[in-house]
């Protein structure tokens, strides 16, 4: 089995955020960082060159593939912010709760475990924070933190 291509790095999340362009995306990234810190209680860590992760977990699939990944996080991409909300992917009840929250969120698109937002002004930040919290709690239930 091949190893994950995206792994934690020693790069500074704050230094990365400070380089995000355009300036409006950088401002949004600072808001997202504060939100994820508040919800998770975790210090961020860079995963690869452009993903900011909070917490970590180890997974092992029935196929035998295993690895480590961030519990939650985001990437302030030029086109859209990508938010990584894995709880709904791992837990059906959380997926249903996500659907209800997403109906109230505002303008967004999504993938299996990703939420895409053009700019934070397009969404209800209280609903977004509840989505992050719901998925964080689900990840901690499905993959209990070690230690």
pLDDT digits (tens, 9 = 90+) for 49-68: 999 999 999 888 888 888 89
* Nearest-angstrom CA–CA distance, 106 and 143: 30
Q: Is residue 8 part of a domain?
A: no
Task: Say if 126 falls within a structural domain.
Answer: yes
Enter the pTM of the model: 0.93
Could you tell me the residue range of the domain that residue 31 belongs to?
13-142
| Ranges of the chain whose pLDDT falls below 50 | none
Determine the distance from the C-alpha atom of residue 83 to the mean position of all C-alpha atoms in its chain, rounded to a whole number: 4
Residue 3 confidence (pLDDT): 66
| DSSP code of residue 146 | P
Residue 74 maps to which CATH number? 3.90.1150.200
Split into its structural domains, the chain has a count of 1
């Amino acid at each position: 089995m091949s190893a994950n291509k995206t792994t934690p790095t020693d790069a500074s999340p704050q230094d990365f955020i400070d380089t995000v362009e355009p300036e409006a995306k950088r401002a949004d990234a600072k808001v997202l960082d504060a939100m994820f810190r508040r919800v998770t209680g975790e210090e961020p860590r860079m995963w690869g060159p452009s993903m900011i992760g909070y917490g970590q977990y180890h997974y092992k699939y029935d196929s035998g593939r295993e690895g480590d990944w961030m519990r939650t996080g985001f990437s302030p991409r030029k086109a859209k912010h990508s938010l990584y909300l894995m709880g709904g992917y791992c837990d059906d009840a959380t997926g249903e709760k996500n659907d209800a929250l997403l109906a109230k969120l505002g303008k967004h698109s999504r993938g299996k475990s990703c939420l895409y937002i053009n700019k934070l002004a397009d969404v209800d930040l209280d609903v977004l924070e509840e989505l992050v919290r719901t998925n964080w709690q689900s990840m901690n239930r499905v993959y209990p933190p070690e230690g």
